[in-house]
Amino acid sequence: MKKKTVIEWLNTITNDSLREKAISNTKNTFGLYTGDELVSSLADALAYGFDWEDTTEGNVFWDHVYDQALNGDLATNINE
């Protein structure tokens, strides 16, 4: 699978609210991540894009979203 930046992967999420939350969280990581890191999947983008614990939504929420992405159950507009 082609590697993409964290932001490119997050932009494939079709749910507007969820996509905006994920992208916004990459910008609130106090310099730990830039969103420019290259990763192999949407699940990796969620795992490495930001620290779930430091978000308003929290670990449980992002763990659920991550599981959906990992299992292919998260709606995306991925064009390989």
Q: Structure tokens of 41?
A: 């999947």
Report pLDDT for 78: 79
Whole-number pLDDT of residue 32: 61
Q: Where are the domains of the chain?
A: 4-70
Per-residue pLDDT, 80: 45
Task: Please indicate, yes or no, whether the overall pTM of this predicted structure exceeds 0.85.
Answer: yes
State pLDDT tens for residues 22-69.
999 988 665 566 667 799 999 999 998 898 998 999 999 999 999 999
